[in-house]
Chain A
């Protein structure tokens, strides 16, 4: 979709600049970028994610101006930000809830990509860069969660760094190297603060690559059919700047509800207790957006195998473009794939639910059940195991086999044909030429 640039320098200065640094041409071409005209609201989450990243970077840079990353001062400096710094409470609550909003948006964005087959050729690298962004996001969120240096910060850091201890032979020295002390300690906090400041800019760089890789083949669309002619597209501006802007506005409303009316809802009260290396909190859980992986980790009663499953759960995401053998992009035309996909979403949610509860807790309270192996079948442990099996089966069995065995519905000839073949379906009074101003 390499269009000829429509930029025409009008003044002498614009011609001078265009011959030296064609930045105005670059901006104009981005605004004019031909975009499929049938993108629905699921496609606005790219813009919403850009908004989330910008919000986190701006609020984070401000918080770093008031935060003290020292072992002795970190916890108190959070109280200083909340009580003394002008509007510090607002900026910190935006940042803390912003992390959750970022993950809400990224999960919707990922599921949208899966549903509409946005990872299929020629967009595999676009998908891989996106998966890398998600991985760096998780690392950034984890490092950020350590910084308040409360009980959940400290013990979360201890558990996550201990994961690397599962590696045979070299595990323990690696953990020591990661934390820089006998255990998680002030040096750990210092380095995590440095990385928490660094990684968002790595994400920003990856986002630039992500958009670059997007603009080579162009956007996919809900039909999954390639853009065939210019009439299949509209310019990005004003059509999608306005649509994305409206979606961002709605997203900000939901964001504001959390920031102003329930700012601690997604946090954990134990993190208001200063880090104490002598006592673990009774119930330790990660942030909600990591719970499904946490459930997979705990589902397996062996340290090394659990860690391998955890890593594998994320690795599957990277392999998806090659695991899915179907040549039909959009699940609109793959009813069977759609069914298995909706089960997959429910399974991910159940895994998250299991991750938030103790493995021995009953799924249906009061229902007596027999044991299989180490646990009752009416326990979070077995529910996690069943779901973990489906999670991996969806990637490793269903996706490869379904592409070969299913019978997809007929795919339309072009983006326009599903609409044009049913003229009666067009709403009364629809403008004949919506792409024209006026």
Chain B
């Protein structure tokens, strides 16, 4: 092997160098994993709501169309929105129970706009498993969910049954004396 002596270097060709090999493996696998992650995100995100769906995310409604003591159900973000015109008696009952033993404590005043206590705006989706509760039914005269028997009072607070939370008050504001903008 005299001829190999002339070109001798620190690492002869026939000596394995596991450091170099491991580096190549780790670099290649890291690059591949990065590429897979980068291309995976668009394929995950395409299931999120599309731009045209999000563009329809707010509505306006004239609450004066709802007669006293009744409720109109409006479609909001593809789901029922309850617009309830409460009687003074219903408001009084709700306020009277503000400090009762509530599962999800909230005052009635916190669930309406100041000076607009007769208008109760709620997402009409039971907080148990998503059914639409029935108006004016149940022991508290608020709502009764036919699916699993949850009962809400006239402030939409959960009083009995399996639902964990009060009916949700959406983000809304009065844009005029009787017009609301939801979302």
Contact = CB atoms under 8 A, between A and B. Distances in A.
Interface string A73-89: 00000001001111110
B16 A80 contact: no
Contact of A84 (B13, B41, B42, B51): B51
Contacts of A80: 50, 52
A85 B14 contact: no
A91 interface: yes
Interface string B43-56: 10111101111000
A211 B53 CA distance: 45
A62 B42 CA distance: 11
Given A84-B50, A84-B51, A84-B52, A62 B13 contact: no
B50 A432 contact: no
B42 A91 contact: yes
Interface in B14-56: 14, 16, 18, 21, 41-43, 45-48, 50-53
Nearest to B52: A84
A58 interface: yes
A431 interface: yes
A79 to B, nearest CB: 10
A134 B169 CA distance: 59
Contacts of B45: 86-87
B7 to A, nearest CB: 9
B46 A431 contact: no
A90 interface: yes
A429 interface: yes
A240 to B, nearest CB: 15
Contacts of B21: 438
Contacts of A83: 51-52
A429 to B, nearest CB: 5
Given A80-B50, A80-B52, A87 B14 contact: no
B43 A91 contact: yes
B14 to A, nearest CB: 7
A66 interface: yes
B14 A88 contact: no
Interface of A: 58, 62, 65-66, 80, 83-88, 90-91, 429, 431-432, 437-438
Interface of B: 13-14, 16, 18, 21, 41-43, 45-48, 50-53
8 contacts: A65-B46, A65-B47, A80-B50, A86-B50, A86-B51, A87-B41, A87-B46, A438-B16
